[in-house]
């Protein structure tokens, strides 16, 4: 059984997912960022991955280094060694998998090609049991590739504008549906829950398109009934929801 389905989905204490680690304290997707997130005892962490020119998998959100290192070198155009020369904090995926041990992990492959996904999948399988992983997917094509390789893999679907969220979740047999701020509507959330899908908040209406960080934004998402929340401040989220649950008790 997936470790994701075994998580406790409690109304007073949404599942807390460290977004790229703890990026408001340490640079996203780096060793230090994940070390700090793990230390908060959050429920899971989310990581972004790309494949380098020499077939290595690295932890990186953008397809280039411009935002994190001031260099527009693309991950797919250089070797992992060359990328690390530009960006010494670059974390390789194998190290990340070792760091997180048996912790639930959400993997965002961005819009990788089917060929790149197979490289990511091989690295994921080498790390051991697959029951702790959930793949966050943005396209139906990638969802079908994942299902062909792993029929029972947990997946989270990005809610695309113009598509019926429930139909999308059914189409790819998702476990979670990721909702953006404009879709944080009680009726939408209830409809997904009633159909057996967990809702995942990427950001709160109170925090616009940014990942939820403030206690007020986190509380607002909890009141809406979200089952899980991705946050740049998993430390604050653990404290906020701990206090919320204690107060209701």
Nearest to 22 by CA among 14, 13, 31, 12: 31
CATH number of the domain where residue 216 is located: 3.20.20.190
**Residue in the structure block whose two tokens are 């997917």:** 137
Q: How far apart are CA 230 and CA 199, in angstroms?
A: 11
Q: Are 147 and 173 in contact (CB under 8 A)?
A: yes
Q: pTM (2 decimals)? A: 0.94
- Residues paired with residue 13 on neighbouring β-strands, in sequence order: 10
Q: How far apart are CA 23 and CA 221, in angstroms?
A: 20
> What is the chain's pLDDT, residue by residue, as a tens digit (249 residues)?
799 988 877 767 899 999 999 999 999 999 999 999 999 999 999 999 999 999 999 999 999 999 999 999 999 999 999 999 999 999 999 999 999 999 999 999 988 999 999 999 999 999 999 999 999 998 889 999 999 999 999 999 987 767 788 888 999 999 999 998 888 899 999 999 999 999 999 887 776 667 778 888 899 999 999 999 999 999 999 999 987 666 665
Residue 200 belongs to domain spanning: 3-248
How many residues does the structure list for the chain?
249
Number of domains in the chain: 1
How many Cα neighbours within 13 Å face the side chain of 43?
24
Per DSSP, the three-state class of 52 is coil
**Residue in the structure block whose two tokens are 């047999």:** 173
């Amino acid at each position: 059984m997936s470790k994701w389905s075994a998580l406790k989905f409690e109304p007073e204490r949404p599942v807390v997912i460290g977004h790229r680690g703890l990026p408001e304290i340490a640079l996203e997707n780096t060793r230090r960022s994940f070390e700090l997130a793990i230390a908060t005892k959050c429920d899971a962490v989310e990581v972004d991955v790309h494949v380098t020119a020499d077939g290595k998998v690295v932890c990186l959100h953008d397809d280039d280094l411009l935002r994190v290192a001031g260099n527009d070198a693309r991950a797919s155009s250089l070797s992992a060694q060359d990328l690390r020369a530009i960006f010494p904090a670059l974390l390789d995926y194998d190290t990340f998998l070792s760091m997180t041990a048996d912790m639930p992990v959400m993997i965002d492959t961005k819009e990788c090609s089917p060929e790149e996904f197979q490289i990511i999948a091989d690295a994921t399988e080498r790390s051991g049991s697959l029951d702790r992983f959930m793949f966050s997917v943005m396209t139906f094509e990638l969802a079908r590739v994942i299902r062909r390789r792993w029929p029972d893999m947990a997946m989270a679907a990005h809610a695309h504008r113009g598509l019926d969220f429930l139909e999308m979740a059914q189409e790819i047999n998702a476990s979670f549906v990721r909702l953006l701020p404009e879709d944080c509507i009680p009726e939408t959330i209830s409809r997904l829950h009633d159909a057996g899908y967990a809702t995942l908040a990427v950001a709160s209406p109170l925090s616009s398109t940014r990942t939820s960080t403030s206690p007020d934004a986190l509380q607002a998402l909890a009141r809406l009934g979200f089952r899980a929340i991705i946050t740049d401040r998993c430390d604050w989220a653990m404290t906020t929801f701990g206090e919320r649950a204690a107060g209701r008790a």
